[in-house]
Amino acid sequence: MSDNVTLTIDGQSVTVPAGVTIWGAARKLSINIPILCHHFDVKPYAGCRVCVVEVQGMRAMAAACACPVSEGMVVKTNTPKVREARRLVVELLLASHPQDCLTCDRSQNCELQALASDLGIKEVRFKNTKPQLPLDANNPSLVRDPNKCVLCGRCVRVCTEKQSASVYTFANRGYQSIVTPAFGRGLENAKCTFCGQCSVICPTGSIVVKDDTEKVMEAINDPDKVVVVQTAPAVRVALGELFGAQTGAIVTPKMVGALKLLGFDRVLDTNFTADLTIWEEATEFLERLTKNRDMPMITSCSPGWINFLEMYYPALVKHHSSCKSPQQMFGALAKTFYAQKEKLDPAKIVSVSIMPCTAKKFEAKRPEMRASGFQDVDYVLSTRELGKLIKSAGICLNDVQPQNYDPIMGIGSGAGTIFGNTGGVMEAALRFAYEAVTKETLSQLEFNAVRGLNGLKEAEVDLKGTKIKVAVAHGLANARKVMEAIKDGNPHKWNFIEVMACPGGCISGGGQPISHDMNYRTKRTEGLYADDRNLKYRKSQDNPEVKAIYAEFLGEPGGHKAHELLHSHSVHH
């Protein structure tokens, strides 16, 4: 039996592997069949019927997103019948959809809006008879407006298939159908990790990031406050997309310039505390390895992952590193070390972070994240929010004068920058641990076994006699597999595990720009690896500012002061 199938679409012959859908085959001919419920990250659902096509010999029209091709199939994607059916489907959706597009968070980036425009819908003949449902906004990260839901089920699928959290479900039946967490609860009571993947995959403004931009602008406009901003590794490789840059373009100097134009008083780099995290975490790992304490050790940078661990595997919380995330290390130091160095009153510092992440908003508000005596990080903005802030200020990112980060906590190494990729924290830690254990210079910096988008990566690393087995998981469904293995006694004998809540790591975090490029993860990943190659320092242990902070302020990695500020104890039992 042949593995390839030849069919005809709109009079053109095309050969594709068996199992490909009509939608996939049409793409090969550059025919973009419109879709709404379908998304390349999740399994086909065929719920919305926007992608219907006529197939010769089939009684009813087929959903191209789910219908597999067959030999000799004759498909027509643009007949009057197809056009009318698609228009009717979208018109019915529009009838029960709020007409507030101009003020919607997703205006100009809404798939329903684009469909209505592409299909040329000029009027909606039907009246909305759906009752108004309340907003779900009692959490720091996300806002759900069920009235804007088109029941595509993408959030249901991504949360189940990719994140294994299954927060959302379809409830009720027929015209009463809604997408909701169990019992109609708000996300704060639904074991939601706030990873925000639902907000990236939602085609409309039904699930959006909670907007904190006005609070940040208020702080900037307060002459009494010194507003210090940090930018996470993955922001620099994605922000440009919001301004027309190619997917994966690094825009660090322009981003820094734009932040200064916006009025931030100090623009600093989370990569600095990523490097610091490596000093602390690798030190902790080597100590735990020697003493065989709470092994295997799992990274703790991803707050969505930490939420998942606490809620779904509370008995295994001891396995995660006590290190705070780079964001929170930065926050704790901004109002202590940085305030001292710069002779600033910590009470007047407003600490802002730009993150690819929605769970970071939750993390910043955790009660234990007040090591400085204040809330260590005051406001967290996602990459998407920063894009809006820049646009609202009339700043054209492409024309911004490139600028460098400010000194002290402004230098990051390539090891810090690859934190944004799945496997990056592991690779950075290995670059550190190798030299710490062997006392030799590492010549081959790339650990290719932990790179790439495989859901679960494993490697054995020989630190000149000390062999360690590492694993890297991204996407919480893969994290769940890791945790089940640990529950079963760790049969793979892993010593050190990196987990990132989001598939691909932070480069495709819940706060990142929404991309319609099927290869956006690969492109952003490559962007950060290129950034690593181009940086002056590529190992966390070479970062001069990190060496200085240990000499001047922190003392030893894992020492008393480091523990006080950089480690979290209330979650570590």
Partner 1 sequence: MSHNAPSPCKCVDLAKLEPVFQQYRKKTGALIPVLQAAQDIYGYLPIEVMESIAENLNVPVSQVYGVVTFYAQFHLEPRGKHIIRSCQGTACHVRGASRILGALKENLNVEPGHTTADLQFTLETVACIGCCSLAPVIMVGENAHARLKPSGIAKILDGYRD
Residues that bind partner 1 (CB under 8 A): 133-136, 138, 160, 166-173, 180-186, 190-191
Which residue, 135 or 393, is less far from partner 1 as judged by CB?
Answer: 135
Which residue, 48 or 192, is less far from partner 1 as judged by CB?
Answer: 192
Which residue, 166 or 438, is less far from partner 1 as judged by CB?
Answer: 166
Look at residues 258, 229, 244, 299 and name the one whose alpha carbon lies nearest to residue 506: 299
Count of other CB atoms within 10 angstroms of residue 440? 10
Asked whether the beta carbons of 364 and 351 are under 8 A apart, the reply is no
Residue 95 CB, nearest distance to partner 1 (Å)? 21
Residue 477 CB, nearest distance to partner 1 (Å)? 12
Look at residues 382, 398, 352 and name the one whose alpha carbon lies nearest to residue 254: 398
Asked whether the beta carbons of 289 and 468 are under 8 A apart, the reply is yes
Count of other CB atoms within 10 angstroms of residue 174? 5
E strand or H helix at 277: helix 270-291
DSSP code, position 81: H
Residue 37 CB, nearest distance to partner 1 (Å)? 17
Active centre residues (catalytic): 281, 284, 301, 321, 360, 363, 368, 506
Residue 570 CB, nearest distance to partner 1 (Å)? 26
Asked whether the beta carbons of 153 and 47 are under 8 A apart, the reply is yes
Which residue, 108 or 132, is less far from partner 1 as judged by CB?
Answer: 132
Which residue, 166 or 515, is less far from partner 1 as judged by CB?
Answer: 166
| Whether residue 402 has a cis bond before it, omega within 30° of 0 | no
Strands 496-500 and 142-144: unpaired
Residue 403 CB, nearest distance to partner 1 (Å)? 43
Residue 243 three-state SS:
helix
Beta bridge pairs of residue 227: 350
Distance CA 308, CA 479 (A): 9
Residue 415 three-state SS:
helix
Distance CA 200, CA 504 (A): 13
Which residue, 173 or 343, is less far from partner 1 as judged by CB?
Answer: 173
Residue 159 CB, nearest distance to partner 1 (Å)? 9
Asked whether the beta carbons of 481 and 468 are under 8 A apart, the reply is no
Beta bridge pairs of residue 515: none
Look at residues 385, 367, 388, 387 and name the one whose alpha carbon lies nearest to residue 376: 367
Which residue, 96 or 541, is less far from partner 1 as judged by CB?
Answer: 96
Residue 190 CB, nearest distance to partner 1 (Å)? 8
Which residue, 188 or 211, is less far from partner 1 as judged by CB?
Answer: 188
Residue 147 CB, nearest distance to partner 1 (Å)? 12
Question: What's the first-to-final CA gap in the chain, in angstroms?
Answer: 58
Asked whether the beta carbons of 15 and 5 are under 8 A apart, the reply is yes
Distance CA 431, CA 446 (A): 9
Beta bridge pairs of residue 9: 12, 75
Residue 44 CB, nearest distance to partner 1 (Å)? 19
Q: State phi, psi for 351 to the nearest 5 degrees.
A: -100, 120
Asked whether the beta carbons of 456 and 471 are under 8 A apart, the reply is yes
Which residue, 186 or 559, is less far from partner 1 as judged by CB?
Answer: 186
CA distances from 57 to 18, 66, 257 (A): 20, 18, 60
Asked whether the beta carbons of 53 and 62 are under 8 A apart, the reply is yes
